[in-house]
Amino acid sequence: MSKGPVRKPASAHHTEQANETVSSSAPRYLQAHEHGCVVTVWLQPSAPRDAVVGEHCAALRITVRAYPQRGQANDALIRLLAQTLQLPRHRLELLRGHTSRRKQVLINGLSVQEVQTQLASLMSQKP
């Protein structure tokens, strides 16, 4: 008896689509990860101030005063995100983009919804 490809029942497929639809309410710069949440960041170094500015090209736009030399801007990014999310810095990890403006930061232990809520409250406080 030969075994063909294993197929999911139609009901399981529809359930997965429903779950994807529910998570689509999160901004495009937030993705779920097995250890927490990944934030896609557009980093602007050498800026006048350290701040979470808003969205830019499906990424969270962040400005830092640090220069993009010897990882100074990356360190400032991790420090600012940790402070913004009220987490210790060791819970944040730069996954991609060490030498690029577009970066991906893993936030260990927080879900997409938790990060979204904290960033939304920060954005609503802006003048």
Is 77 a member of any domain?
A: yes
Closest to 86 in 3D by CA, of 66, 110, 67, 50: 110
Domain with 42, as residue range(s), is 28-124
Is 22 a member of any domain?
A: no
Is 35 a member of any domain?
A: yes
Is 57 a member of any domain?
A: yes
Is 4 a member of any domain?
A: no
Summarised one tens digit per residue, pLDDT across range 45-96 is: 999 999 999 999 999 999 999 999 999 999 999 999 999 999 999 999 999 9
The domain that contains 105 carries what CATH number? 3.30.1200.10
pTM for the structure as a whole: 0.78
In total, how many domains does the chain have? 1
Neighbouring residues of 27: CB distance < 8 A, sequence distance ≥ 6: 55, 60, 116
